[in-house]
Amino acid sequence: MIGEEFKGEIDKDKVYYIPTGAPVPEGFDTVVMIENCERIGETIYVEKTVFKGENIIYRGEDVKRGNIIANKGEVLRSVDIGVLASQGIKELSVYEKVKIAIIPTGKELKRAGEKLDDYSVYDINSYMLKSLFAGFNYFNTKIFEIIKDDENALRKIIVENYNKYDVFVISGGSSKGMRDITVKVIEQFGTPGILTHGINMSPGKPTILSLCNDKIIFGVPGHPVSSYISARFVMMPILNYFAGRRDIFENTIGKGIVSIDIPSKHGMDDFVRVTIEDEILTPVFGQSGMVSTLSSSNGIIIIGDEKEGLYKGEELEYYGMI
C-alpha cells in the first residue's frame, strides 16, 4: 500500500504485487518488475534472473546522514531542489539577487525602434549586456534611459537609484570624451573610488573598475565587442563573487587546433573570436565595433600577454559563446 502501513498478514512463501514507491514489507528483499513476470492461473513465472535487493532502495541509501546536499556558494539547480525536497527541507537561506543598473551613454545613441539619422546608431550594448546577465538567475537587471554625454544627468540617475541597485554599469562611458565625464562622476560617490582605468586586454582595454563605498561601478567600452569581452571576462567574475558564488571564473569547454597563424600584441591578453569545427579553431577577424563578429563565432580563445601570437597547429583551450 502506498502512503500507509500494510496491516494484513504476509505469507513469505507467496509473491505479492507492490506498486512503485510503496514500502516493502518486512521479510522481503527483492522486487521483480511486472513486465518481467507472467501469471498463469495461481502461479507467477519470473522470466529473468533476479538478484537479491533488485529494484529496492534501502532507507538511507539515497542520502546518508552527514552527506552535504547543498554547498555554500553554489547555484541551486532543479535537481538540487529535488534533493532538498526529498529530505523535507522547505526553505533555506540564500543570497539576494544582485541588482544591476545599466546606464547607456552617448549622444549618438538611439533606442531600438527609433528612427536613425546620419549621425546616430542604435544602442547595442544595453540589450546585449542585459541578455548576458539574464542567463544567470541570480541577477536582476534594468536598462535606464540614454544619457547624452551630460555629467549632471549621469550623476542624477545614479543618485536617484543609489540605494536601489548594487551595481552600476555605465556603457560607453570609458571612451575618450565621455570617459572624462564618467571618471568625474564616479569620483563623487565615495572611496576608494576608481581602482583601475584601463586593462591590458584587447578588446576591452578602456574598462573602468571602481568601488564607491559599497557600490560597484563599471565603465565598459562603447564598441560592442569590447563591451562583451569586458563584461564576460572582467565583470562576470566580480559579479559572481559579489553574488556569493564559490566558483567565480568561467571554465573552458574544450581544446582545439589553431588553423592559421594568429598575430597578437605582446604584453596584452588578446581575446580572439573563433569558429570551431571538428576541434579546428579558425579566427574571426574584425574591428571591435563589428558586433556580427560575435554572433558569427562559436568560441573565444585567449592569447596570453606573454605571447606575440599563435602558430598554425598549436593546441589551445577555448570558451563557448553565451
Torsion over CA of 152, 109, 209 and 243, rounded to 10 degrees?
100
Quick one: average pLDDT of 58-76? 89
pLDDT tens-digit readout, 246-285: 999 999 999 999 999 999 989 999 999 999 999 999 999 9
Residues 14-37: pLDDT tens digits? 888 888 888 888 888 999 999 999
Cell numbers at residue 131, please? 541578455
Residue-range domains of the chain with CATH: 1-56 (2.170.190.11), 63-94 (no CATH), 98-243 (3.40.980.10), 254-320 (2.40.340.10)
**Span 200-227, pLDDT tens digits:** 999 999 999 999 998 999 999 999 999 9
Q: What is the pTM of this model?
A: 0.84
| Mean predicted lDDT score pLDDT of the chain | 91
What region does 177 belong to: left with phi over 0, alpha with psi -120 to 50, or beta? left
Is the pLDDT at 294 greater than 90? The verdict is yes
Q: What percent of the chain has pLDDT over 90?
A: 75
The DSSP secondary structure of 234-262, one letter per residue, reads IIHHHHHHHHT-S--SPPP-EEEEESS-E
> What confidence score (pLDDT) does residue 248 get?
95
pLDDT tens column, 110-129? 998 899 998 899 999 999 99
Ramachandran category for residue 21: left, alpha or beta (phi over 0 → left; psi -120 to 50 → alpha)? left
